[in-house]
Amino acid sequence: MKRMLYGAAAAAVLAMGAALYMGTASAAAPQSTFVLLDGSRKSTTDLKGRVTLVNFWATSCVTCVGEMPKVIATYDKYHPKGYDTLAVAMSYDPPSYVVNFTETRKLPFNVAIDNTGDVARAWGDVQLTPTTFLVNKRGEIVKRYVGEPNFAELHQLIEKLLVEG
């Protein structure tokens, strides 16, 4: 049974990756439940209607920490226009570190802790940080970045997606 589930998950990940790589189609964002720092929950369905950056990160990741001011600036620039950011801390990141980072850096967007690793697995078995997904208003992944994005290109894509229906 487990082998069948892993096989199906692997096939879904491959199909999503192929669609994103080929640039021919957008893949629906996987159904997930994000547990936010305040204990509330958001689901993938809640992302619809806004262009959303889903950023998998860790406090121990030098690149993640280094890109965070640009992630904040991007959020500040586009949030009033219908853009959102959801930062998902990896399962190995101690919750107290995530809370401390969020508070000291005054992160203006929602932060979730993926304490079981289920969200990272659902989003293509994310293991490298930062891994970032840009989701359109229809809830489809239009771009995946491993490592720090080129923020000038990211901004152009966000602007394009914000004007789409």
Q: Is residue 67 part of a domain?
A: yes
pLDDT recorded at residue 15: 38
DSSP code, position 15: H
- 79-122 per-position pLDDT tens digit: 999 999 999 999 999 999 999 999 999 999 999 999 999 999 99
- Give every residue of the chain whose pLDDT is below 70, as ranges: 1-25, 165
pLDDT recorded at residue 4: 39
The verdict on pTM exceeding 0.75 is yes
Q: Is residue 72 part of a domain?
A: yes
**Phi and psi at residue 112, in whole multiples of 5°?**
-115, 155
Tally the domains of the chain: 1
Asked whether 161 and 152 are in contact (CB, 8 A), the reply is no
HSE (CB half, 13 Å, CA atoms) of 42?
Answer: 21
Read off the CATH number of the domain in which 76 is found.
Answer: 3.40.30.10
Q: How close are the terminal C-alpha atoms of the chain, in Å?
A: 41
